[in-house]
A and B are shown apart, each in its own frame.
Chain A
């Protein structure tokens, strides 16, 4: 079994406010790389004071455009997160699952991930 890799959001974004979509994108980039390399990842929210849905959608929500729910469940976990932030994350995840139920969006996400995408509105 591979060792679990801990990614600390605080370290990745360089601060305690996880609010900008752009910062979420940085976290997403690392998560993608690690998961694609077959690593099990624990995402740590230690020292994070404030979170937004925009950040979480970029960091975690868009994983559902690339990976299946089962895969994410098996290989990604969260730690050091406050209860109310956990509730927010749950809503973001549920929203992302619903968002990518639309096959057009899922296809578009796959295209973007492979570098052929266009039309992203970020």
Chain B
């Protein structure tokens, strides 16, 4: 099976291409899948996370995946972030310090993820990020990862990748899981039959949570949303056929042509943001409980 990939950017069209690619390989079993990248002039590096998730799923079905005919600029980026190393290519040293490595984690790997984030961000040359923003950004990444760990029920892993754009002062990061997806989780836990896009909105709203049992939850994605609104960054969530985006403070939903088999959360932060993020407010320690 030969599949011609096209440009994949962090936008609705990029996700449409991604799920169309996923649809093509979804039925493959014990096949040789040749991904031809001769028509790819650009891949937003963070999108390696959902792309890698789809390819990993295909390999778990016994398919042998190769990636060929990569244009040099694309090959350079995807070799620097370690994505192509999974498909037999050499790694390249990232002298600009702009890539955040592509990685796959198991759901029990919270500590590895924490080490990875500390290591990857520490080595980056991000001069404009204030300590407060750096802290909020780190917290956001952990919230996204925890969300996937707690809710996705994936057995195939959690994938992450990022890229810092020096000139734009933007940092993009993606976390993809191959779990139930938001619609599936809401249906499974609460027997609530929502459309995929409504399931995303539901998960981001009010006190909604699919948590059961002794540990409360339901705050992670709301905190993320509040932070990104203030930061004037961007969030994209693709789950099943649902696509939700928050950009410039406004959110919108769209329907993807095919389902993503899990959930992808992309965030883009504005690294030049100088908000304090310190809620220097009236809360006193003795008023907490």
A pairs with B: yes
Chain A residues near B (Cβ < 8 Å): 15, 17, 19-25, 49-55, 57-58, 61-62, 64-65, 69, 72-73, 76-79, 81-84, 86-93, 95-96, 98-100, 105, 108-109, 112-113, 117, 119-122
A17 to B189 alpha-carbon distance, docked (Å): 30
Write the chain B residue with the least CB distance to A96: B216
Taking CB atoms, residues of chain B closer than 8 Å to A81 are 285
Q: Are B110 and A21 in contact (CB under 8 A)?
A: yes
A61 to B212 alpha-carbon distance, docked (Å): 13
Taking CB atoms, residues of chain B closer than 8 Å to A109 are 213-214
Taking CB atoms, residues of chain B closer than 8 Å to A53 are 143, 146, 217, 219-220, 223
Q: Are A99 and B216 in contact (CB under 8 A)?
A: yes
The binding surface of chain A is classed by DSSP as helix
Shortest beta-carbon distance, B179 to chain A, in Å?
A: 12
Taking CB atoms, residues of chain A closer than 8 Å to B277 are 84
Query: Per-position contact with A for B214-242: 1 when CB-CB < 8 Å, else 0?
Result: 11111110010000000000000000000
A105 to B217 alpha-carbon distance, docked (Å): 12
Taking CB atoms, residues of chain B closer than 8 Å to A57 are 215-217, 219
Taking CB atoms, residues of chain B closer than 8 Å to A49 are 135
Given A21-B150, A54-B143, answer yes or no on A84-B214 (Cβ-Cβ < 8 Å): no
Shortest beta-carbon distance, B139 to chain A, in Å?
A: 6
Q: Are B279 and A120 in contact (CB under 8 A)?
A: no
Shortest beta-carbon distance, B244 to chain A, in Å?
A: 20
A41 to B21 alpha-carbon distance, docked (Å): 55
Q: Are A54 and B217 in contact (CB under 8 A)?
A: yes
Shortest beta-carbon distance, B32 to chain A, in Å?
A: 39
Q: Are B142 and A52 in contact (CB under 8 A)?
A: yes
Q: Are A52 and B212 in contact (CB under 8 A)?
A: no
